[in-house]
Amino acid sequence: MARPSFFGDTRVMRGPRVMGVVNVTPDSFSDGGLFLDAGSAIAHGRELAAAGADILDVGGESTRPGAEAVGAELELERVQPVVAALAGDAQPGGPSVSIDTSKASVARAAFDAGARWVNDVTALRADPELAGLCADRGCEVVLMHMLGSPRTMQDAPRYDDVLDDVRSFLAARIEAAVEAGIAEARIWIDPGIGFGKTLEHNLELLRRLGELREFGRPLVVGTSRKRFLGAITGREVGERLGATVAANTLALAAGAEVFRVHDVAEARQSLDAAAVILGRAPWRG
């Protein structure tokens, strides 16, 4: 399973990171139910690793608009065996495992099973114990902007200026994370494309994404198969690969470094090529 380089081909020695989505849920917007069985999810995660994922993001609670909340016990039941198996596959140069959760109890079990990242759509607001746990474990933490909760976020979202509002939110959450003991060098930020945003908000954020580089923290972007791409192209969920590649490539040009995707092989190839063309990664022929 190990690849010649952390970023893929040995000739591309530095470049974007691809975060492969492993949804262990019955109701995620793109692949809900396909990998709810632990065995299917583990097999899918291994396929994403072989396709070039640098990070495998395992989640047991859907965060699609309108999704119902899931209790910690059920969420943990879904993700623990998947995290354990995928983390157990770890080899030098291979992918690390992220737990997509807002609950400290789920994150703790995932850490014990080998996870090294927490991807929290609430930016450490939902569970007061999660920040301290992340600080104690020294993990990487993704702080994402979301307006409201998955249940309410698409109820007529409004901003004075979406980029300025997202910037202010992320500044406050970075400060809170550091105050809780999380090393700033371990904080990654995500503007939350599609999380409490209209089509116009999403487009504005992507056009002005480079302004978030002022934080000096790596940018995570998740546009994969999302509804706003369907609105632009008229394509259904499973037909949005081309639009996703376009959005990711433009985000890379603006300074994004991690790309959360469903279609890992295509993202790996397109982003590695774009990184070399943009001069973000050297070509060693």
Could you tell me which of 246, 248, 158 has the C-alpha nearest to residue 198?
158
Catalytic: 197? Answer: no
The strands making up 55-59's β-sheet, listed across from edge to edge, are 187-190, 140-144, 117-120, 96-100, 55-59, 17-23, 258-261, 220-221
Could you tell me which of 65, 70, 61 has the C-alpha nearest to residue 36?
61
Could you tell me which of 122, 180, 176 has the C-alpha nearest to residue 150?
122
Catalytic residue from among 167, 260, 268, 280: 260
DSSP H/E element including 81: helix 72-88
**Distance of alpha carbon 110 from alpha carbon 133, whole angstroms:** 12
* Residues found in the chain: 285
**H-type helices in 156-198, by residue range?**
162-179
- E strands, the chain, where? 17-23, 55-59, 96-100, 117-120, 140-144, 187-190, 220-221, 258-261
Matching residue, tokens 């709810």: 36
Catalytic residue from among 46, 78, 226, 240: 226
Catalytic: 260? Answer: yes
**Distance of alpha carbon 249 from alpha carbon 277, whole angstroms:** 11
Beta bridge partners of 190: 144
Q: Which residues are catalytic?
A: 226, 260
